[in-house]
């Protein structure tokens, strides 16, 4: 394969504007529209049920659930044709039997044609704790990454990497807000993996930037980053592709439960790959990183 | 980087074979006693119920404070300290007043390591009660660790009762664990309808026998309770004739005389004596049988019951009689419990998830394998061999530690497949660059490996950090994902640096004179 020579650095500015716009857009979405938290984080009950009667329509099902006085009930199709997911904000009930009662009343109303495939019921106290530990986990991993990069690189690099991470997390969440996708425990896992992946990608390019800075004393950082991105480009593309292949396979064949999770990851891999090129590197240029930055560090170590 | 000692080669091979054996043994049916290990399937894959119960300790604290109050009264009397206005406030503080002359001596009795009435916990360096002196008023309230002690002892009692109840129902391999100091986690694999167990765990099962009084109105020493079916109420004496503690057995039974299901019970010696005495004096009265504050039934006492056994009638079905007998046999919970989190997955959905997970694993795997062969030819094959060994090692390690595989865990394995080729790609791309400036192919390979090493380590450690934090803070299924992702990184590094490098070195040394090697 011929070594690529794409002038990435020519578009630093324009892509930065796009990113800044996307971040502001995402932040305002998060601020004004908010996220669609699932039962894990908001509390409430989720029932996945399968209807054994093909003629049952979703509006009939919706109607009979509304008759149960459970408050706001959301009924949606889920995966296969006769599968539905039903969500409501049943506050922590005194009554341990409420699922049992729902079953009985449904059987009464439309007939005994349901198979309850999954029930998740989370009390408000537990959901608040889960949300808190999710936020702590994301904050801690960002912190731990920052420290690791700080130890392995110079501060300019760690700033660049962390900016890229925040960029990825904010835009991914913004996307979830825009399309009203549900945030549950597995999305937190996805976001953390995105953090790891994006960091991974950034580190590979940064390693090359550092190496090239030491090698060429007369080339400006703007050009150095461009050379490094090009040198590592085929790896970036191959790894993103194989990861995306695996994720697409989960997204298409992995069943309805993993859809949101794999979608977040696919989004994250794309945004993460983009940000290691167009967020992390321009920051090195802005911070005027030079040969001195990396040589000084070496001397301190020796 | 391309040189391997014989010893190293052998140990790599042995290590790989052993773990692969564990891995494959999951899919074979034969039993052998030494390596009889299997990956556990999480509840989301095999179906089952996950229940998180929280103990409401308010009544426990109330009870303890009342006992404590009596003890303190007696203690102060013994020590000839005159006190007044002793009472409990806010369900957490006992306060009383003493005259000036007693203040110092009272304080010294309640303080320090040797206090008789206020136990000192060596491990926490604190007493059970914190002491607050305000002029003549002395306040005793549970210290932080006093409360912790109280809660963990009620948790210990509760978990014992929960275990008995779950065992009585007879589910497969239930998993009952403490969470924090006031929660109990119950995992019931294979149970797709937890209604009955939820019902049983939600009951305190506090059984008492008390007389119904003739009074029409509530008065001191009596209280108004309703019947279980909410149809009627009765005024019941607060004096407890007999409680569930005295029961040694309870069984559902068909009473042929009245053609009804009843629960028959046997009492211990103390209980039998008490019961005989009470029923002898109470002939003609109604004896209420009360469970968790609700009257089950209130039969007339026709004659004294002296044998130490009796039966509870009520409007029972066979199922409800069985459940009541079970509750009585397993004993009362020290405090009421609430289910604060429930996750139940039916076995069908579990099987569907396994199938979908395995299908997407195979497809993802095949896609990556084909891609690598198309891109790198012979080295793609080596990378793929690495991928296979990586999978075998990963599943082998999970089996060895009998880890629990969840649906997100399968996703973690698939993701590992996608990301595992990264290290080999980094190495091969680097070698391609090195080969341009280096005629000696072996040296080029060698420096390719060497120069890519820090990058690969850096890149993998960052993902490992995310996985570790996820494992530490994640809950339930997320932990399973973090586990496979984290172990996957370690096996990836091993496969890349030992297996793939070994294969590469064998191939390169044999074919070093080929024109286009990679």
Q: A81 and chain B: CB distance < 8 Å anywhere?
A: no
The model's pTM: 0.84
Minimum CA–CA partner of A135 in chain B: B473
Pull the structure tokens for residue A96.
């341990």
Number of A/B CB contacts below 8 angstroms equals 226
DSSP B452-485: HHHHHHHHHHHHHHHHHHHHHH--THHHHHHHHH
Q: Are strands B40-41 and B404-405 parallel, antiparallel or unpaired?
A: parallel
Question: What is the interface pTM, i.e. ipTM, of the complex?
Answer: 0.88
Contact B340 A152 (CB under 8 A): no
DSSP B97-118: EE-HHHHHHHHHHHSSTT-SSS
Pull the structure tokens for residue B278.
């009470």
3-state secondary structure B444-457: HHHHHHHHHHHHHH
Contact in structure between A231 and A302 (CB atoms under 8 Å):
no
* Cross-chain CB nearest to A246 (options B352, B417, B462): B417
Angle between helices A221-253 and A259-275 (to 10 degrees): 170
Q: A275 and chain B: CB distance < 8 Å anywhere?
A: no
Each residue's pLDDT expressed in tens, for chain B with a length of 518 residues: 677 788 888 888 888 888 888 888 777 765 555 666 788 888 889 899 999 999 999 988 988 898 888 888 898 888 888 888 888 888 888 999 988 888 888 888 888 888 888 888 888 888 889 888 888 888 898 888 889 989 999 999 999 999 999 988 877 789 999 998 999 999 999 887 788 888 888 888 999 999 988 777 777 788 888 888 888 888 998 888 888 888 889 999 888 887 889 999 999 999 999 999 988 888 888 899 999 888 998 888 888 888 888 888 888 888 889 889 999 988 889 889 988 999 999 888 999 999 999 999 999 999 999 999 999 989 999 999 999 999 999 999 998 888 888 888 888 888 888 888 899 999 999 999 898 888 888 889 999 999 999 899 988 988 898 889 888 887 776 788 889 999 999 999 999 999 999 999 889 888 888 877 77
B-chain residues near A133 (CB < 8 A): 473-475
Quote the CA–CA distance of B143 and B165 in Å, as a whole number. Answer: 33
Could you say which residues from 13 to 42 on chain B have a Cβ atom under 8 Å away from some Cβ of chain A?
Answer: none
Quote the CA–CA distance of B71 and B83 in Å, as a whole number. Answer: 14
Quote the minimal CA–CA distance from B48 to chain A in Å.
9
Helix (H) or strand (E) holding B89, with range, is strand B83-89
Quote the CA–CA distance of A29 and B497 in Å, as a whole number. Answer: 45
DSSP character at residue A255: -
Q: A195 and chain B: CB distance < 8 Å anywhere?
A: yes
Contact B462 A126 (CB under 8 A): no
Helix (H) or strand (E) holding B511, with range, is none
Contact B356 A261 (CB under 8 A): no
Q: A51 and chain B: CB distance < 8 Å anywhere?
A: no
Pull the structure tokens for residue B407.
């649906």
Q: Can you list the domains of chain A with their CATH numbers? A: 8-38+126-301 (1.20.1640.10), 44-122 (3.30.70.2040)
Quote the minimal CA–CA distance from B106 to chain A in Å.
41
């Amino acid at each position: 394969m011929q070594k690529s020579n794409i002038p990435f650095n020519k578009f630093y500015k324009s892509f930065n504007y796009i990113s800044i716009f996307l971040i502001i857009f995402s932040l305002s979405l998060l601020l004004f529209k908010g996220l669609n938290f699932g039962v894990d984080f908001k509390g409430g009950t989720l029932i996945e049920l399968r209807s054994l009667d093909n003629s049952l329509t979703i509006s009939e099902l919706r109607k009979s659930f509304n008759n149960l006085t459970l408050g706001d009930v959301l009924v949606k199709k889920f995966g296969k044709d006769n599968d539905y997911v039903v969500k409501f904000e049943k506050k922590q009930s005194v009554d341990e039997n409420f699922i049992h009662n729902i079953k009985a009343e449904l059987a009464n109303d439309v007939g005994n044609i349901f198979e309850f495939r999954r029930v998740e019921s989370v009390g408000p106290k537990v959901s608040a704790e889960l949300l808190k530990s999710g936020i702590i986990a994301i904050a801690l991993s960002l912190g731990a990454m920052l420290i690791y990069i700080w130890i392995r690189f110079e501060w300019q690099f760690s700033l660049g990497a962390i900016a890229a991470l925040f960029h990825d997390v904010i835009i991914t969440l913004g996307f979830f807000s825009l399309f009203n996708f549900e945030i549950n425990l597995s999305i937190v896992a996805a976001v953390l993996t995105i953090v790891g992946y994006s960091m991974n990608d950034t580190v590979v390019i940064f390693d090359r930037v550092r190496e090239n800075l030491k090698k060429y004393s007369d080339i400006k950082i703007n050009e150095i980053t461009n050379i490094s991105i090009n040198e590592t480009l085929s790896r970036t593309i191959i790894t993103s592709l194989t990861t995306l292949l695996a994720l697409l396979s989960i997204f298409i064949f992995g069943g309805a439960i993993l859809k949101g999770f794999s979608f977040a990851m696919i989004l994250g891999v794309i945004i993460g790959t983009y940000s290691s090129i167009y967020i992390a590197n321009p920051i090195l240029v802005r911070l005027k990183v030079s040969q001195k930055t990396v040589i000084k560090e070496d001397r301190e170590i020796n | 980087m391309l040189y391997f000692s014989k010893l190293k080669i052998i140990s790599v091979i042995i290590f790989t074979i052993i773990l692969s054996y564990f891995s494959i043994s999951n899919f074979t049916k034969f039993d052998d006693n030494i390596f009889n290990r299997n990956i556990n399937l999480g509840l989301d894959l095999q179906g089952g119920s996950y229940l998180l119960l929280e103990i409401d300790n308010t009544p426990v604290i109330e009870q303890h404070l009342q006992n404590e109050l009596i003890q303190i009264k007696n203690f102060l009397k013994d020590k000839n300290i005159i006190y007044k206005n002793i009472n409990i406030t806010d369900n957490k503080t006992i306060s009383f007043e003493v005259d000036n002359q007693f203040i110092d001596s009272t304080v010294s009795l309640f303080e320090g390591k040797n206090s008789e009435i206020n136990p000192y916990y060596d491990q926490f360096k604190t007493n059970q009660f914190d002491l607050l002196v305000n002029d003549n008023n002395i306040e005793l309230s549970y210290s932080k660790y006093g409360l912790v002690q109280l809660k963990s002892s009620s948790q210990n009692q509760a978990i014992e009762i929960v275990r008995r109840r779950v065992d009585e129902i007879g589910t497969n391999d239930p998993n009952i664990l403490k969470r924090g100091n006031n929660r109990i986690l119950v995992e019931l694999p294979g149970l797709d309808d937890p209604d009955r167990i939820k019902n049983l765990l939600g009951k305190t099962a506090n059984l008492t026998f008390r007389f119904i009084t003739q009074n029409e109105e509530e008065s001191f020493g009596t209280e108004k309770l309703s019947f279980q079916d909410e149809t009627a109420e009765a005024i019941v004496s607060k004096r407890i004739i007999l409680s569930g503690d005295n029961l040694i057995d309870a069984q559902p039974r068909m009473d042929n005389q009245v053609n009804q299901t009843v629960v028959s019970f046997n009492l211990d010696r103390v209980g039998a004596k008490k019961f005989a005495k009470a029923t002898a004096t109470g002939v003609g009265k109604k004896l209420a049988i009360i469970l968790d504050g609700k009257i089950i039934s209130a039969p007339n006492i026709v004659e004294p019951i002296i044998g130490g056994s009796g039966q509870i009638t009520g409007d029972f079905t066979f199922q409800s009689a069985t459940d009541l007998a079970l509750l009585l046999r397993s004993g009362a919970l020290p405090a009421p419990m609430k289910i604060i989190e429930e996750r139940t997955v039916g076995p069908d959905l579990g099987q569907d998830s396994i199938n979908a997970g395995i299908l997407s694993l195979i497809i993802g795997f095949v896609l990556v394998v084909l891609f690598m062969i198309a891109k790198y030819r012979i080295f793609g094959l080596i990378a793929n061999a690495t991928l296979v060994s990586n999978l075998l090692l990963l599943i082998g390690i999970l089996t060895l530690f009998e880890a629990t595989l969840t649906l997100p865990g399968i996703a973690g394995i698939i993701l590992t497949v996608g990301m595992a080729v990264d290290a080999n790609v980094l190495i091969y791309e680097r070698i391609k660059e090195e080969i341009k400036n280096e005629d000696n192919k072996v040296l080029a390979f060698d420096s390719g490996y060497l120069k890519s090493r820090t990058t690969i380590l850096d890149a993998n450690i960052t993902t490992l950090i995310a996985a570790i934090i996820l494992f530490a803070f994640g809950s339930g299924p997320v932990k399973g994902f973090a586990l496979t992702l984290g172990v996957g990184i370690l096996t990836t590094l091993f496969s890349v640096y030992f297996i793939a490098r070994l294969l590469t070195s064998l191939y390169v040394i044999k074919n070093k004179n080929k024109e286009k090697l990679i």
